[in-house]
């Protein structure tokens, strides 16, 4: 049962009808880049189905949408912005609806949702879409152009260029996260994702995508419908993962098996003022409560959630024990385990349907994917699950987190319990 109950320790600063709510949140399946179901799918064809879904499933007039904000990381900025605009047309939006992209590395999809929530709160518009998109098949991770030699004069600047896997090794070494612990976390991620898939849980959040797959030998095209994540390994075991060699350091502990998968996918979240949702008679999936982005040491960028989660929870006027469910991106098992231990979180509350080590991590789409996964699971759990958090670490040394409230639990009650100053921020990130 939610420890917060009806007197949770937060105070709404706005009137009831001005809450920013989520009425729809969907994602594509996530597929292995270069060899999975979306290896021959253009980025705009990935984004269009989820943009269409949030409109069709709510019967919202697309012309009422004030803005579409899409998180995306690897593609050249102007090209991806054009692809997102094209996807909006494919999805049936009129030319009067604007589109823009946002890039805060791995939190880009969550940042897009937060940007739309802030704009609605500010009165810029009443309805907006926060989305995320990444085709790591089309746009692999790479640094384009030469590096400024000046970075050699500053350690923190140099550390911004560290391969993400090296930052994982740094976290594992500095905070004593063992190889066996990391492999066990990966096994658990696959086990939970496989169980969620087999039970049909994930169907609530996944929009099947009609696309094509090209045979690399014959060149023949085959029409297919992709409806499940294709990176999940139901039979993953400690024995099998233990055979994998470290990728980034000869004597390291980070392997392909205990890291997030390189993936293709997209997600979209439809937000609006609560008064508008009520006027339209739309069921409310969740309420956007607050968002925090923080900076940490780039050399151990994976600790970001350990700093961002307490900051966001405190901003919402809550305490960590008030949070019933967490979606924390599993960029690497090392950093995921560190954050879980540092914040002393209950493992039974985190990534209950698996995480990025099993499902995948299409960088710009992960935030939107996590919001969809979290809110649909909170809806399934009902009254026993009032507050949820989405969080991830961010390359170059940052963390992001957002707090959501289950849609049918929000009311006009305000708290009377005073929240004292907390001291949750991680000293390890300084």
CA pair distance 231, 227, nearest whole angstrom: 12
Q: Which two tokens stand for residue 96?
A: 């009067």
Active-site residue 84, yes or no? Answer: no
* Number of neighbouring beta carbons within 10 Å of residue 152: 10
Q: Between helices 366-381 and 108-122, what is the axis angle to 10°? A: 70
Q: Which of 361, 376, 385, 410 is catalytic?
A: 361
- Residue 339's region, left for phi above 0, alpha for psi from -120 to 50, else beta, is alpha
What Cα–Cα distance (Å) separates residue 409 from each residue in 284, 314, 327, 406? 10, 20, 19, 6
Q: Give burial (CB, 10 Å; 0-12/13-18/19+) of 5.
A: exposed
* Number of neighbouring beta carbons within 10 Å of residue 250: 6
Q: Which two tokens stand for residue 194?
A: 């496989």
Q: Are 353 and 369 spatial neighbours (Cβ–Cβ below 8 Å)? A: no
Active-site residue 361, yes or no? Answer: yes
CA pair distance 121, 382, nearest whole angstrom: 26
Q: Between helices 164-174 and 333-342, what is the axis angle to 10°? A: 40
Let me know how long the chain is.
Answer: 430
339, HSE (Cβ side, Cα atoms, 13 Å):
32
Q: Which of 2, 84, 106, 410 is catalytic?
A: 106
* Number of neighbouring beta carbons within 10 Å of residue 100: 13
Q: Which of 2, 370, 393, 410 is catalytic?
A: 393
Active-site residue 410, yes or no? Answer: no
Active site residues: 106, 361, 393
């Amino acid at each position: 049962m939610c420890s917060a109950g009806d007197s949770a320790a937060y105070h709404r600063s706005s009137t009831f009808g001005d809450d920013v709510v989520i009425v729809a949140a969907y994602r594509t399946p996530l597929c292995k880049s270069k060899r999975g179901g979306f290896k021959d799918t253009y980025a705009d064809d990935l984004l269009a189905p989820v943009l269409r879904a949030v409109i069709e499933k709510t019967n919202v007039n697309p012309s009422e949408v004030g803005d579409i904000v899409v998180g995306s990381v690897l593609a050249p900025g102007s090209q991806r912005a054009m692809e997102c605009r094209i996807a909006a047309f494919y999805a049936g939006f009129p030319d009067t609806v604007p589109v823009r992209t946002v890039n805060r590395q791995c939190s880009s999809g969550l940042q897009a949702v937060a940007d739309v929530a802030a704009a609605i709160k500010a009165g810029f518009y009443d309805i907006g879409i926060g989305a995320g998109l990444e085709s790591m098949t089309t746009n692999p991770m790479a640094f384009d152009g030469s590096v400024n030699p000046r970075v050699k004069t500053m350690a923190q600047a140099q550390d911004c260029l560290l391969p993400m896997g090296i930052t994982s090794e740094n976290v594992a070494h500095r905070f004593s996260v063992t190889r066996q612990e990391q492999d066990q976390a990966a096994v658990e991620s696959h086990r939970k994702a496989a169980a969620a898939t087999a039970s049909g849980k994930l169907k609530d959040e996944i929009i099947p995508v009609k696309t094509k797959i090209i045979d690399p030998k014959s060149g023949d095209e085959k029409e297919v419908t992709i409806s499940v994540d294709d990176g999940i390994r139901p039979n993953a075991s400690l024995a099998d993962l233990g055979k994998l060699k470290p990728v980034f350091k000869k004597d390291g502990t980070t392997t392909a098996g205990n890291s997030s998968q390189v993936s293709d996918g997209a997600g979209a979240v439809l937000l609006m003022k609560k008064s508008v949702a009520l006027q339209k008679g739309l069921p409310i999936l969740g309420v956007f409560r607050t968002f925090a982005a923080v900076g940490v040491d780039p050399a151990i960028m994976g600790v970001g959630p350990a700093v961002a989660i307490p900051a966001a929870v405190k901003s919402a006027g809550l305490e960590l024990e008030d949070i019933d469910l967490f979606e924390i991106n599993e960029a690497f098992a090392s950093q995921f385990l560190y954050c879980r231990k540092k914040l002393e979180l209950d493992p039974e509350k985190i990534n209950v349907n698996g995480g990025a080590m099993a499902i995948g991590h299409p960088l710009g789409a992960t935030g939107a994917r996590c919001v969809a996964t979290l809110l649909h699971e909170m809806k399934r759990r009902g009254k026993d699950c009032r507050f949820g958090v989405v969080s991830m670490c961010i390359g170059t040394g940052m963390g992001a987190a957002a707090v959501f409230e289950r849609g049918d639990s929000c009311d006009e009650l305000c708290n009377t319990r005073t929240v004292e100053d907390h001291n949750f921020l991680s000293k390890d990130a300084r």
